Amino acid sequence: MEGKSTGSSDKARSRAGTRGAKRNTAISIGGVEVQPGERCYIDLPLPPLYTHTSVAMPVHVINGKQAGPAMFVTAAIHGDEINGIEIIRRLLATKALSRLAGTLIAVPVVNVYGFVSQSRYLPDRRDLNRSFPGSEKGSMAARLADTLMSEIVDKCTHGIDLHTAAEGRANLPQIRADLEKHPELQKLAEAFSPPILLDSPTREGTLRDAIDGLPLLLYEAGEALRFDDLAIRAGLKGILNVMRYLNMLPQSAKQTDKRSKTWIANNSVWMRAPQSGILRSRVPLGGIVTEDMTLGLISDPFGEAEQAVVSPVSGVLIGITKLPLVHEGEALYHVATTKSTSSAAEAVDEFHLEYEQPVIKRLK
């Protein structure tokens, strides 16, 4: 594709340049050249459906007048994870982008096929986020992954990938990053200001694993096929925080130096159902978990043969099943762990205080 030729020059941009230092350059995506000071909507062609229906990946490019980092924001790599689509819609409507330094490339729906069918997967049942970096002549998933990598990722200096939990589960807003491999991501993640930063190694085939050193934050929040306003508002504010940290946007007049605390978890553990039955959860999402705490009770439909789901660790509940009907071995609770949970409670409380107060005020 024509856009490939500008990748190396764009990657050379500084990670956190000085605003107004020099004029920006044009960027080419899908054969469309976007000049400094322009914003442009581009359709990247994808393999058509067998009905002869055309399919395209929507891309919104805002190329600032002044030089700066080039950042992509992607959503719906899993087609049923739609919170990120609304985050990007609100991001693109932000007035501060008129003063952007650098380049913002927003892709609200990466997996267009899954989005149309309200599915996590592609039509061939492959998981796109196990198919990176992809190839031009591979499977449908590999070709879609290659398009995203060659046309978007390779032309950027930073990235934020937006996700939710899988269908039937919910995640507490959190950032995932491999801090052991990329310790420099900690400051970027703390600028986002999530309540939880999970030090999480990458998995082969994921976008995080394929980026080859490019600073990427993975935002997980909410559940599939649902809009979660708290997760959406936190995601939008986090992206804008990162853009200000990178000097892509001017500091907000309302912004203070104080940000909500971020609790760093160095591991996480899934608790699985010890038996089949009906689950009654006792701990809410974001709740503090202590070792040997009962997280829920599973019984048969008659309320007999009851068995507790007990946590072997202390930490914070960052993921939970939303379906009370469970089979033995199903993942029910996801607990992030570290040596001390005292600061975790403070971080989660501050987060809820910051994002729930506006809702209370609107209801009055």
pLDDT in tens, 294-320: 999 999 998 889 999 999 999 999 999
Residue 72 counted as domain residue: yes
Residue 17 pLDDT class (50, 70, 90 cuts): low
- 20 and 140 housed in the same domain: yes
- 139 and 61 housed in the same domain: yes
- 130 and 185 housed in the same domain: yes
CATH (domain of 157): 3.40.630.10
Once rounded to an integer, what is the mean pLDDT over residues 341-349? 79
- 133 and 27 housed in the same domain: yes
- 73 and 141 housed in the same domain: yes
Angle (CA) 200-144-112 rounded to 5° is 90
CA dist 345 and 343 (Å) reads 5
Encoded tokens for 76 = 């719906």
For the chain, what percent of residues have pLDDT higher than 70? Answer: 90
- 195 and 155 housed in the same domain: yes
- 126 and 6 housed in the same domain: yes
Domain that holds residue 327: 267-355
Where helices occur in the chain by DSSP H, the ranges are 7-11, 83-92, 112-116, 140-151, 185-192, 207-210, 229-245, 342-363
Q: What is the pTM of this model?
A: 0.91
Residue 312 counted as domain residue: yes
> Does the pLDDT of residue 13 top 60, yes or no?
no
Residue 79 counted as domain residue: yes
> Does the pLDDT of residue 38 top 70, yes or no?
yes
The answer to whether the Cα torsion of 142, 147, 149, 153 is positive or negative is negative
pLDDT at 346: 82
Encoded tokens for 174 = 């959190």
**4 and 127 Cβ atoms separated by less than 8 Å:** no
The number of distinct structural domains making up the chain is 2
Residue 258 pLDDT class (50, 70, 90 cuts): low
Where helices occur in 152-284 by DSSP H, the ranges are 185-192, 207-210, 229-245
pLDDT in tens, 75-102: 999 999 999 999 999 999 999 999 999 9
Query: Please, what is the average pLDDT of the chain?
Result: 91
- 35 and 134 housed in the same domain: yes
